[in-house]
């Protein structure tokens, strides 16, 4: 495995390199890039722009900026993490986790305790990183958050997103980011405890999972919600099926969040012939120390 170094980025030339990295990660639309001059402004006004380098080549970056969230007792500061990108040659290498861990350290040093960001809830790789590995939670679903997107990964589908909460000073997050490896949970652990998926997913003749026509209403403290394991490959093969998944999952998560559930974990199960990806939904006030 290649060894990378992570450092703060501040100069125009460094931000130009971030522009180019965005083209590699999200090809197809120049208008969706965050320009270098805006990245410089973020870095020089309380934001955090971090880059990962291998032999002086930028292979990953993460950046965000201070923001406000409106709570019942008034506005509170937070860090809004806008973008995490890893060069295609270094995906699944642990680099995304390392960048988020560096961001966690920097934002804590600024005195903030809350980081939010959005991601497509149908992307299981992102879900596994954000929820299972980093310890973020989610109870917010935004329809078409970014309007019509034109890059190669997002074009053609409604830009629905989870907005997740990363409470960075909690024991939950500190344990996930520690050097001690967290034992992964499998579907059999939940089955033995009597925890079942909200709906049954069948596989079509081409081998792609397709959503059911309806879901059961959530009633237990814990439920599982299944999504496709490789949504981007499914979309490339059958766009209509990908759209069906978008609309079905929208109904699922809007329903469970309105019923008082939140996403607290994510499991990627390889114990059967077909790998399966599922969100863990917990009802009520779930402790952030779990």
pLDDT in tens, 176-189: 998 777 777 788 88
Instruction: Please name the residue that has the structure tokens 């390889």.
Output: 270
Picking from 148, 176, 204, the residue at the C-terminal end of a domain is 176
pLDDT value at residue 181? 72
Q: Classify residue 180 by its DSSP letter.
A: S
Between 279 and 28, the more confident residue is 279
Q: 159 and 213: one domain? A: no
Top mean-pLDDT range of 2-6, 123-127, 145-149: 123-127
pLDDT value at residue 2? 65
Q: 81 and 23: one domain? A: yes
Q: 108 and 49: one domain? A: yes
In a domain, 288, yes or no: no
Q: 79 and 206: one domain? A: no
Q: List the Cα angle 254/121/246 in 5-degree steps.
A: 70
Cα→Cα distances 255→36, 53, 107, 141, Å: 40, 42, 33, 10
Task: Categorize the per-residue pLDDT at 79 as very low, low, confident or very high, splitting at 50, 70 and 90.
Answer: very high
CA dist., res. 161 & res. 68, Å (int): 19
Q: Is residue 271 predicted with pLDDT exceeding 80?
A: no
Q: 145 and 274: one domain? A: no
E-strand ranges in 72-200 read 74-86, 114-119, 137-142, 161-167
Return the minimum-mean-pLDDT range out of 30-34, 221-225, 280-284: 30-34
| Tokens linked to 243 | 């759209």
CA dist., res. 20 & res. 59, Å (int): 10
Q: 156 and 86: one domain? A: yes
Burial class (CB in 10 A: 0-12, 13-18, 19+), 243: middle
Q: Is residue 290 predicted with pLDDT exceeding 70?
A: no
CA dist., res. 53 & res. 73, Å (int): 42
Task: Categorize the per-residue pLDDT at 24 as very low, low, confident or very high, splitting at 50, 70 and 90.
Answer: very high
Domain that holds residue 192: 187-283
Do the Cβ atoms of 144 and 188 come closer than 8 Å? no
* Average confidence (pLDDT) over 270-278: 86
Between 30 and 22, the more confident residue is 22
> What is the total count of domains within the chain?
2
pLDDT value at residue 120? 97
Q: 141 and 216: one domain? A: no
Picking from 126, 145, 176, the residue at the C-terminal end of a domain is 176
pLDDT value at residue 270? 84
For residue 79, the cross-strand partners are: 66, 115
Q: 204 and 162: one domain? A: no
Q: Which of 260, 195, 201, 257 has the alpha carbon at shortest distance from 227?
A: 201
Q: For the chain, what percent of residues have pLDDT higher than 70?
A: 96
| Tokens linked to 143 | 């329809």
Q: Is residue 261 predicted with pLDDT exceeding 90?
A: yes
**Mean pLDDT over all residues of the chain?**
92
Q: 138 and 249: one domain? A: no
Q: Could you tell me where the DSSP H helices lie in the chain?
A: 12-25, 36-43, 95-109, 124-127, 171-176, 187-192, 231-237, 239-258
Helix (H, G, I), strand (E, B) or coil at 137: strand
| Tokens linked to 140 | 């917010």
In a domain, 182, yes or no: no
In a domain, 290, yes or no: no
Strand-pair category, 74-86 with 114-119: parallel
Burial class (CB in 10 A: 0-12, 13-18, 19+), 43: buried
Burial class (CB in 10 A: 0-12, 13-18, 19+), 65: middle
pTM to 2 decimals?
0.93
């Amino acid at each position: 495995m290649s060894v990378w170094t992570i450092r703060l980025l501040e100069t125009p030339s460094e931000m130009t390199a971030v522009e180019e990295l965005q083209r590699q990660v999200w090809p197809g639309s120049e208008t969706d890039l965050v320009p270098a001059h805006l990245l410089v402004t973020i870095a020089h006004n309380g934001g955090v722009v971090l880059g990962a380098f291998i032999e002086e080549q930028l292979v990953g970056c993460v950046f965000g900026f201070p923001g406000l969230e409106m709570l019942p007792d008034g506005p509170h500061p937070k860090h809004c993490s806008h973008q995490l990108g890893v060069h295609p040659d270094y995906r699944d290498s642990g680099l995304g986790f390392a960048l988020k861990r560096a961001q966690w350290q920097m934002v804590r040093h600024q005195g903030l305790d809350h980081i939010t960001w959005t991601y497509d809830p149908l992307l299981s790789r992102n879900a596994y990183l954000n929820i299972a590995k980093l310890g973020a939670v989610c109870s917010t679903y935004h329809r078409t958050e970014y309007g019509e997107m034109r890059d190669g990964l997002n074009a053609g589908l409604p830009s629905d997103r989870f907005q997740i909460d990363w409470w960075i000073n909690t024991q939950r997050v500190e344990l996930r980011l520690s050097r001690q490896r967290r034992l992964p949970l499998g579907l059999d652990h939940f089955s033995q405890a009597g925890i079942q998926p909200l709906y049954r997913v069948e596989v079509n003749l081409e081998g792609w999972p397709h959503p059911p026509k309806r879901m059961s209403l959530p009633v237990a403290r814990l439920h599982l919600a299944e999504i496709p394991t490789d949504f981007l490959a499914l979309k490339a093969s059958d766009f209509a099926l990908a759209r069906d998944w978008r609309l079905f999952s929208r109904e699922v998560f809007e329903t469970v969040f309105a019923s008082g559930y939140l996403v607290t974990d994510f499991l990627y199960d390889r114990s059967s012939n077909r790998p399966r990806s599922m969100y863990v939904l917990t009802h009520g006030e779930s402790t952030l120390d779990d």
